Amino acid sequence: MQPIRYGVVGAGVIANYMARAFTEGRDSIAVALADVNRTAAEKLAPALGQPRIVADYRELLADPAIDAVYLATPPFLHRPMTIEALRAGKHVCCEKPFMLTQAEVRDVLAVQREHPHLKVNCASSRYLATGTAQRARALIAAGDLGRLYRVSYEQVIGAPKPGSTLPPWRNDPAKNGGGITFDWGPYDLDWLAFVLGDLFRPRVVFAVTGHYFPLTPERVPPCLDVDGYYSAEIICDHGLTIHWERRAAEHGPSRHNIELRGTRAGLDTYFMPLPERPGMVHHAYLGTDELKSTVLPDAPPNWDDTMVNPIRDLSRAILEDRPTANTLADNLRIHGVLDAVLASARTQQAIRVAE
């Protein structure tokens, strides 16, 4: 079976992390690379397998030898590029955040419906193929936890190194959507949507956000004009509530924990690589015994596989003619929550999530 031929759009940091997806000998190869920065493109090209380089991404879209595109561009370009790619007959893997608003997702969905054979996924799906995510999803779907009533999802990221810099668009909500809400938030919500399945039906959100702030005169986050922390309560159908919180660059250690609690059992897990953690832990009371906590054997996340998973998944979905793990319906729900978080933080009111 012939591999899926990709055009890569963008030669920035994230495209460098994704490069192995096109040279690992699976189902994907890069045949062209587009970036207005020729120097950056020439630096990335060897890691991609030396595709031809062009300055204008539209050359890729016009090339019949390209089956799909990987969009590794700033978020404000995702909507127009995804729509143009679909209209050019290309499958699309788009970096996260997928879009800036739920309305933009609706625009993409409308175009994709005109080309139903084309598949679209978002790179927020990086962590969905891990053994822990797959097992958690299976346990919940099988009813092992009983009726799931509470999820606590808390992630704290350490402070940046002194002198850290980011591209200017990362500090501009008009171009990036927001700060940590749009940088890490899509990963969180995509993981929740995948693991919870049909239980992830968010209806109401109450949230607060706050901007990054200097920790010391020497240790200043490089994006002070966007949010660096948020805390949200999400009310879903059937009595499920989700506490969702992320913080970064604060006076404290990193912490990553996801707790899922049901009427029969509970799970403690995490979604990103943490070598110091034992794995996913299953908790349950059995009869009159004390609480039994069991470390499950499923493989935890690792960086090499998680980074390239979105391309692997899209290529297999094309070859097998199946849905991708992350779908447009998922992205519609994800961006509905993100819209509600921003609106709730702005108004200090609970916000109903748009369908």
d(CA 70, CA 73): 9
Do 196 and 278 lie in a common domain? Answer: yes
Helices (H), 165-274: 173-176, 180-183, 185-196
Single out the residue in 64, 95, 126 at which a domain terminates.
126
Structural contact between residues 14 and 75, judged by C-beta atoms closer than 8 angstroms: no
In a domain, 313, yes or no: no
3-class secondary structure, 22: helix
Do 134 and 17 lie in a common domain? Answer: no
CATH code, 146: 3.30.360.10
Do 158 and 229 lie in a common domain? Answer: yes
Q: Which residue is associated with the tokens 């591999």?
A: 3
Single out the residue in 91, 126, 161 at which a domain terminates.
126
Do 141 and 237 lie in a common domain? Answer: yes
Single out the residue in 93, 126, 159 at which a domain terminates.
126
Do 236 and 346 lie in a common domain? Answer: yes
The pLDDT, as a whole number, for residue 274 is 76
Structural contact between residues 263 and 149, judged by C-beta atoms closer than 8 angstroms: yes
In a domain, 327, yes or no: no
The pLDDT, as a whole number, for residue 278 is 79
In a domain, 64, yes or no: yes
Do 277 and 341 lie in a common domain? Answer: yes
CATH code, 59: 3.40.50.720
In a domain, 239, yes or no: yes
d(CA 162, CA 160): 6
In a domain, 330, yes or no: no
Amino acid at 314: L
The pLDDT, as a whole number, for residue 301 is 84
The pLDDT, as a whole number, for residue 271 is 82
In a domain, 49, yes or no: yes
In a domain, 316, yes or no: no
Structural contact between residues 3 and 289, judged by C-beta atoms closer than 8 angstroms: no
The total domain count for the chain is 2
Do 137 and 185 lie in a common domain? Answer: yes
In a domain, 77, yes or no: yes
Do 205 and 343 lie in a common domain? Answer: yes
Do 97 and 235 lie in a common domain? Answer: no
Residue 120's closest CA among 80, 92, 96?
92
Do 105 and 151 lie in a common domain? Answer: no
The pLDDT, as a whole number, for residue 277 is 78
Do 183 and 281 lie in a common domain? Answer: yes
Residue 187's closest CA among 157, 218, 214, 145?
157
Structural contact between residues 81 and 71, judged by C-beta atoms closer than 8 angstroms: yes
Buried b (16+ CB within 10 A) or exposed e, 195-218: bbeebbbbeebbbebeebeeeeee
d(CA 286, CA 228): 42
The pLDDT, as a whole number, for residue 113 is 97
Q: What is the DSSP letter of 44?
A: H
How many CB atoms are closer than 10 A to CB 222? 15
Domain boundaries, position 255: 128-305+335-352
**Per-residue confidence in pLDDT tens, the chain, 355 aa:** 799 999 999 999 999 999 999 999 999 999 999 999 999 999 999 999 999 999 999 999 999 999 999 999 999 999 999 999 999 999 999 999 999 999 999 999 999 999 999 999 999 999 999 999 999 999 999 999 999 999 999 999 988 889 889 999 999 999 999 999 999 999 999 999 999 999 999 999 999 999 999 999 999 999 999 999 999 999 999 899 999 999 999 999 998 999 999 999 999 998 887 777 778 999 999 999 999 999 999 888 888 899 999 999 999 999 999 999 999 999 999 999 999 999 999 999 999 999 8
What's the Rg (C-alpha) of the chain? 20
Do 105 and 203 lie in a common domain? Answer: no
Peptide bond into 97 cis (omega under 30): yes
d(CA 47, CA 49): 6
d(CA 121, CA 252): 35
Strand 227-236 and strand 148-157: pairing? unpaired
